[in-house]
Amino acid sequence: MGIAERKEKEKKEMRSLILDTAMRLFLEKGFEKVTLRGIAEEIEYSPATIYLYFKDKNDILFALHTEGFERFYRHQQTIRTIKDPWKRLRKHAQAYMSFALENPEYYDLMFIMRGPGEKIKADREWGAGMRSYDFLKQNIQDCMEAGYLPREDLDVAAFAIWSFTHGMASLIIRQRCGMIPKEAIPAVVNAAVDFMIEARKKQKQ
Amino acid sequence: MGIAERKEKEKKEMRSLILDTAMRLFLEKGFEKVTLRGIAEEIEYSPATIYLYFKDKNDILFALHTEGFERFYRHQQTIRTIKDPWKRLRKHAQAYMSFALENPEYYDLMFIMRGPGEKIKADREWGAGMRSYDFLKQNIQDCMEAGYLPREDLDVAAFAIWSFTHGMASLIIRQRCGMIPKEAIPAVVNAAVDFMIEARKKQKQ
DNA sequence: CCCATGACTAACCAGTGTTAAGTTGATGAA
DNA sequence: TTCATCAACTTAACACTGGTTAGTCATGGG
């Protein structure tokens, strides 16, 4: 089975070569500026070759989309081990931001870009996103139960916190923060998390 | 001067007809999906006619961009009359959100879309945005001075609050809130503002 | 009657997604 | 060793779309 096996591997490699290149072009050119011909040229194959590995252009964006949520979820899981719910929530926000800032292309695709086909809503695409959202909600609930946060509407709290981190991430990624010098951004983000979340901590009674 | 005057008026009307139509198409089709041919068809003129009123496509986006910041600033000014800084800050957030939700096309263009020509940064484009940002900062400072907020870093506080509202606005506009039923959105937004801002209020000592 | 102005027609040109048809080189049976 | 097969890959084209412009025409003020 050596040969079939090797071919299988090569096929996978080609797929991820295309995927990686597409993602890199996203980063560089942004937008729908990613073109099949562009990808093809970059990997030094003909445009038609790509169709041997992907159904069409959307299929590529789709694959990147799911891949993004996969990475995102894995990235979040690093905070699982933190015992104290409050510390965990804070790290949660930090992890969110570090994912966004270290993977701006993925973040953009997942949370900012007008979707490749807006119809895919109830699909397992959303499922992957939901998994992460539920993880956040669980974390907030733990904080409420531990007395760190007043027992308010869980959905509202989750939406508020998510909005806050997403707001920072998308302002930075879409370059609306001209007033903040680039090198100061991580510090400002951290301070903002303090301002918004840390300062909201209720002393355990 | 009757004739020249009338022609002047007609020219202005045509300009804003094009602008309005372009903006409406933005709303409907979104994206860079706005095409000169599309606008032309909509206003029932030939594509070439548009070039009599605008240099090129970017010129149109540009005009919409400035128009957007103009409206935005005017919208914000309605809260000027509120005396109590804390009430004013809360209304500020609400006004931000109502602008965003009532003018999603403008909001998208101004704060989310990858800019039509990213280079225009230090320009008066940014100036118009800055004016609104400074207004927010002033409001926050008033709250600090009135003892409603602890005297922390003003820039951090402004960035945090802006991020929060922008996060809500952009999640909603770019339809990442599948978990919230459409009709519940205004209420959730309000509750989130309470959660994030209202609850952060420090009693005057 | 002249011609400036506003508008239109028609086309150009550069892309873009996509596909049909051909080429080639390795694979594996005869 | 030979050679049909087949998958990978390419070429070339199709069918569009979109921004843009050159050339043309009608109308109405002077």
Spell out which residues of B between 54 and 73 contact strand D, using CB within 7 Å.
Answer: 56-58
Residue ranges making up the domain that contains B121: 57-200
Q: Give the CATH number of the domain where residue A131 resides.
A: 1.10.357.10
The reply to whether residue A114 touches residue B30, judged by beta carbons under 8 angstroms, is yes
Question: B92 and B157: one domain?
Answer: yes
Residue B7 Cβ under 7 A from any strand D atom:
no
- Best residue of A143, A179, A182 to probe chain B, by most B CBs closer than 10 Å: A179
Report if residue B26 sits inside a domain: yes
Question: A27 and A92: one domain?
Answer: no
A-chain residues within 8 Å CB-CB of B115?
Answer: 175
Report if residue B166 sits inside a domain: yes
The reply to whether residue A160 touches residue B30, judged by beta carbons under 8 angstroms, is no
Give first-to-last CA distance, chain A, whole Å: 66
Report if residue A63 sits inside a domain: yes
Question: A118 and A42: one domain?
Answer: no
pLDDT-derived band at B205 (thresholds 50, 70, 90) equals very low
Last residue of a domain, one of B54, B75, B90: B54
Q: In sequence order, what are the residues at sequence separation of 6 or more whose Cβ sits closer than 8 angstroms to the Cβ of residue A116?
A: A58, A61, A62, A65
Give the closest nucleotide to A37 (alpha carbon vs C1').
C16
Q: What is the DSSP letter of A46?
A: -
User: What distance in Å separates the CA atoms of residue B125 and residue A195, rounded to the nearest whole number?
Assistant: 29
User: What distance in Å separates the CA atoms of residue A70 and residue A132, rounded to the nearest whole number?
Assistant: 10
Report if residue A205 sits inside a domain: no
* pLDDT (0 to 100) of residue B198: 81
Chain B, window 71-90: residues with a beta carbon less than 8 angstroms from a chain A beta carbon: none
Q: How far is CA A64 from CA A52, A72, A171, in A?
A: 17, 12, 22
How would you class A143 by CB atoms within 10 Å of its CB: exposed for 0-12, middle for 13-18, buried for 19 or more?
Answer: buried
Question: B154 and B120: one domain?
Answer: yes
Question: A101 and A179: one domain?
Answer: yes
User: What distance in Å separates the CA atoms of residue A137 and residue A143, rounded to the nearest whole number?
Assistant: 10
Question: A70 and A94: one domain?
Answer: yes
> pLDDT exceeding 90 applies to what percent of chain A?
66
Residue B37 Cβ under 7 A from any strand D atom:
yes
Q: Give the CATH number of the domain where residue B20 resides.
A: 1.10.10.60
Q: Per-residue pLDDT for A119 more than 50?
A: no
Question: A155 and A137: one domain?
Answer: yes
* Residues B102-137 pLDDT 10s: 999 899 989 998 765 444 444 556 677 889 999 999
Question: B8 and B64: one domain?
Answer: no
Question: B15 and B88: one domain?
Answer: no
Question: B50 and B88: one domain?
Answer: no
Question: A184 and A114: one domain?
Answer: yes
* pLDDT (0 to 100) of residue A195: 92
The reply to whether residue A195 touches residue B126, judged by beta carbons under 8 angstroms, is no
The residue among A27 and B193 whose pLDDT is bigger is B193
A119 in B contact zone (CB under 8 Å)? no
The reply to whether residue A32 touches residue B31, judged by beta carbons under 8 angstroms, is yes
Chain B, window 4-63: residues with a beta carbon less than 8 angstroms from a chain A beta carbon: 30-32
Total of domains in chain A:
2
* Residues A120-159 pLDDT 10s: 444 556 777 899 999 999 999 999 999 999 888 999 999 9
How big is chain A, counted in residues? 205
Q: Which amino acid is at A12?
A: K
Question: B87 and B167: one domain?
Answer: yes
User: What distance in Å separates the CA atoms of residue A18 and residue B96, rounded to the nearest whole number?
Assistant: 41
